Amino acid sequence: MRARIPWLGLAVLFAAFLAWEAVSRGFAGLGDYVPPPSRMLGMLGQILVSGELLFHAQATLARFAGAYALAAVVAVSAGVAFGSSRVLYSFVEPLVELLRPMPSPATIPIAILFLGIGNEMKIAVTAYACTWPILLNTLDGVRGVDRVLRQTAATFGVGPWRTLFQVVIPAASPQIVTGLRVSLAIALILVTTSEMVVADDGLGFFILDLQRSFRIPEMYAAILALAVLGYLLNQAFLTIDGWVMAWHRLGTRKEVV
C-alpha cells in the first residue's frame, strides 16, 4: 500500500512555522518566551550534542519500557482471566468500577508515600495507569468472542487451554491491541508527569529544570524531543501491529484489493 504524502498538510505546517518565526523575531522581548523555530532547532542540536538530551531520554525510555511491559503482562492476563470467568470478575467488578474513573496522577502522592521518590514509584504509577485501558479492552475482547467460534472449538473436542490460547486470545487480539495502543500514550504521559513531580533525571524533569533555569529555547527543544519520542514509539507500535495483525486489518477492509 503506497502512503500518500500529505503535501497540502505539510505546506500548511511549514507556513505556520514561518509565521511563528516572523512573529517571534518581529516583536521585541517575545523571543525570550516564544523563541523562533530556528533557534529551537538550533538548541535541539545543542542539547543533543551535549549529551543532556540522550541522558534524560534514556532514563525516561527505561522507565516507560519497564512500566509498559509490566502493565501489559499483568493487565492482559487479568483481562483474559476475568473475561473467561464471570464468577471471578464479579469479585473485582465493584473495585474496578470504583477505581477506573480516577485520574492516574492522583496516585502519585500515594506512590511516593509507599515507594519513595525513585524509579519504583514512577514505574508503579505508570503501570497502574496503563493497566486500565489494557485490562478493560482485553476483558471486552475476550467476552466478545463469538459464540459460534467457541462452539466450533467445542465440536472439535478442543480442551479449555487450547481453546483459550489458540482460539479465544487470537480472536480477542484486535481488541487487546487497541488497549495496548491507548496505553502507549498514557504511559509516556505518566512517566513524564511523575518525573516532573519528583526526579533527578528523565525528560519530564529535564523540561521542568530547563524552565526553572530559564533556558527557555532549550526547554522548547526538549519538549519537541519528547513529542518526537512519542511519535517514534507510536510508529514502532504501528509497525509491529502491521506485521502481527495484518490478517485483521486486511480482513476488515471494506474494499477488496
* Interacting residues with other proteins (CB under 8 A): 146, 148-149, 151-152, 154-159, 162, 166-167, 170-171, 173, 247-248, 250-252
Query: Among residues 29 and 159, whose Cβ is nearest to other proteins?
Result: 159
| Least distance to other proteins, CB of residue 90, Å | 17
| Least distance to other proteins, CB of residue 161, Å | 9
Query: Among residues 215 and 248, whose Cβ is nearest to other proteins?
Result: 248
Distances from the Cα of 23 to the Cα of 17, 28, 29, 72, 77, angstroms: 10, 10, 11, 45, 53
- Beta-carbon contacts of residue 177 (< 8 Å; ≥ 6 apart): 241, 244, 245
Q: Alpha-carbon distance 28 to 42, whole Å?
A: 20
Query: Among residues 67 and 172, whose Cβ is nearest to other proteins?
Result: 172
Q: Alpha-carbon distance 141 to 176, whole Å?
A: 6
| Least distance to other proteins, CB of residue 148, Å | 4
Residue 5: phi, psi to the nearest 5? -80, 125
76 CB neighbour count, 10 Å cutoff: 23
Query: Among residues 177 and 216, whose Cβ is nearest to other proteins?
Result: 177
Distances from the Cα of 62 to the Cα of 59, 74, 191, angstroms: 5, 18, 10
Q: Alpha-carbon distance 233 to 185, whole Å?
A: 9
| Least distance to other proteins, CB of residue 84, Å | 18
| Least distance to other proteins, CB of residue 77, Å | 20
Amino acid (one-letter) located at 157: G
Distances from the Cα of 126 to the Cα of 105, 132, 142, 191, 198, angstroms: 9, 11, 24, 6, 14
Query: Among residues 101 and 157, whose Cβ is nearest to other proteins?
Result: 157
| Least distance to other proteins, CB of residue 182, Å | 22
| Least distance to other proteins, CB of residue 174, Å | 10
Burial 98-112 (b: 16+ CB within 10 A, else e): eeeeeebeebbeebb
Query: Among residues 66 and 174, whose Cβ is nearest to other proteins?
Result: 174
Query: Among residues 114 and 165, whose Cβ is nearest to other proteins?
Result: 165
